[in-house]
C-alpha cells in the first residue's frame, strides 16, 4: 500500500465552500461521500491543520488530502488492442464489459491490468495509482478509444488539453426515437442524482447544489424506422454525460437500463455507445495524432436489425 498526497490551493471563486465539496471537485476519483469519510479519518488538512468536512475554506488556503493506494497488478494474459503507440502516448481500444480502471485493491480484469503488464513505465503516472497513465476513462459498457500517457510530461499536457476542450473526442450512439432534430447542442449542468444511486441528472438549479457545466453536441448520421445513429462530441465529458444528456431529451441509449433506455436483447448490460475518434493537434511534449475506430460489429448488427 502506498500513500499519495494531493495538494491544491483554493481559488477566489471557491472561497467559503465546504471542504468535502472542494475535495470532490479538486481530487480525481473522490466524491462527496468519500471526502467526508476521509475528513473523519483525519486525512484532510487545511493550511497544515486537520479540518472537518463541513468547514468552509477560505480563498488562498492550501488543502492536502492523503490517500492510501495499491499499485495495479499487471496481467499479461489479458488482451490489449493498441491502435497507436508513440514514445509519449498510446491510444488503446477498450471492449464493452471491461472496466477502464480498478476500483478495489487487487482487482483484476480491467484495462489498466493489461496496460501495466505490457507498459510497466505507466505505474505511478496519473492522478491515482489505480489509473496508471489514463488521461480519461470510459464507462464499463462503453466501447472504444482511450488515450494513455507514457510520461509525466505527456500526462500533464494531455490532461490540461482535456480540461481545456482541446483533446478532440467523438462518439457513436444508437437511440430509439425519431424526435431529435438533425443536429443540436445540449448545454445542461450535471450532478449526482439523489433519487437513484450511480446516476447523474440535469440539475435544474445549479446555483443551489453541486453541478458541472456540460456541453454535448450531436449530429444525426442516419435514420431508420426504429433507430437513430448519432455522432456526438463531448470534449470535457462529465461522468455519464452523454448518457444523461440524451436521456434528458427523451432519447436514452439503446440498452442503457440505468437511464431507462430500451432493451437490447442478447447484449447483457451493454449500451449502444462507442468512443470512435480521438485527436490531438500536437506540441513539443506530445506529437499530433488522430485515431478512428469505426462502429463495432455488435452496434452495426443492432442498427441494421
Catalytic residues: 139
Q: Are 16 and 58 in contact (CB under 8 A)?
A: yes
Distance of alpha carbon 130 from alpha carbon 288, whole angstroms: 27
DSSP secondary structure string for all residues of 177-220:
-S-S-SEEEEE--EEE-TTSTT-EEE-S-TTTS--B--EEEEEE
Residues near 226 by beta carbon (within 8 Å), at least 6 away in sequence: 176, 305
Q: What does R_g of the chain's alpha carbons equal in angstroms?
A: 20
* 270 close to 255: Cβ distance less than 8 angstroms: yes
- Three-state SS annotation for 255-284: CCHHHCCCCCCCCCCCCCEEEEEEEECCCC
Give which of 257, 94, 236, 248 is closest to 163, Cα–Cα: 236
User: Would you say 290 and 277 are in contact if contact means Cβ atoms under 8 Å apart?
Assistant: yes
Beta-strand runs (E) in the chain:
2-9, 17-18, 44-46, 49-50, 56-57, 62-69, 81-85, 89-94, 143-149, 168-175, 183-187, 190-192, 200-202, 215-223, 228-233, 273-280, 289-292
How far, in Å, are 125, 192, 245, 298 from residue 17 at the CA level?
Answer: 30, 18, 27, 46
Amino acid at each position: 500500500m502506498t500513500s499519495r498526497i494531493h495538494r491544491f490551493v483554493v481559488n477566489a471563486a471557491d472561497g467559503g465552500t465546504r471542504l468535502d465539496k472542494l475535495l470532490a471537485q479538486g481530487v480525481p476519483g473522490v466524491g462527496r461521500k468519500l471526502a467526508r469519510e476521509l475528513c473523519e479519518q483525519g486525512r484532510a488538512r487545511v493550511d497544515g491543520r486537520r479540518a472537518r468536512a463541513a468547514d468552509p475554506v477560505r480563498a488562498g488556503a492550501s488543502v492536502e488530502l492523503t490517500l492510501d493506494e495499491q499499485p495495479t497488478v499487471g496481467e499479461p494474459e489479458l488482451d490489449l488492442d493498441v491502435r497507436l503507440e508513440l514514445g509519449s502516448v498510446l491510444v488503446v481500444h477498450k471492449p464493452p464489459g471491461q472496466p477502464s480502471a480498478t476500483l478495489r485493491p487487487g482487482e483484476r480484469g480491467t484495462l489498466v491490468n493489461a496496460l501495466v503488464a505490457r507498459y510497466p513505465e505507466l505505474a505511478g503516472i496519473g492522478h491515482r495509482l489505480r489509473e496508471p497513465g489514463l488521461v480519461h476513462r470510459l464507462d464499463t459498457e462503453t466501447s472504444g478509444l482511450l488515450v494513455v500517457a507514457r510520461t509525466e510530461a505527456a500526462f500533464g499536457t494531455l490532461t490540461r488539453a482535456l480540461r481545456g476542450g482541446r483533446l478532440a473526442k467523438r462518439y457513436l450512439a444508437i437511440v430509439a426515437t425519431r424526435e431529435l432534430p438533425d443536429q443540436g447542442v445540449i448545454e445542461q449542468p450535471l450532478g449526482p442524482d439523489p433519487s437513484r444511486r450511480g446516476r447523474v441528472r440535469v440539475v435544474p438549479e445549479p446555483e443551489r447544489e453541486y453541478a458541472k457545466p456540460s456541453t454535448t453536441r450531436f449530429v444525426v448520421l442516419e435514420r431508420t424506422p426504429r433507430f437513430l445513429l448519432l455522432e456526438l462530441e463531448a470534449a470535457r465529458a462529465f461522468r455519464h454525460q452523454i448518457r444523461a444528456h440524451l436521456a434528458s431529451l427523451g432519447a436514452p441509449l439503446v440498452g442503457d437500463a440505468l437511464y431507462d433506455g430500451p432493451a437490447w436483447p442478447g447484449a447483457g448490460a451493454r449500451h449502444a455507445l462507442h468512443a470512435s475518434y480521438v485527436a490531438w493537434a500536437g506540441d513539443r511534449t506530445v506529437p499530433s495524432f488522430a485515431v478512428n475506430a469505426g462502429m463495432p460489429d455488435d452496434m452495426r448488427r443492432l442498427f441494421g436489425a
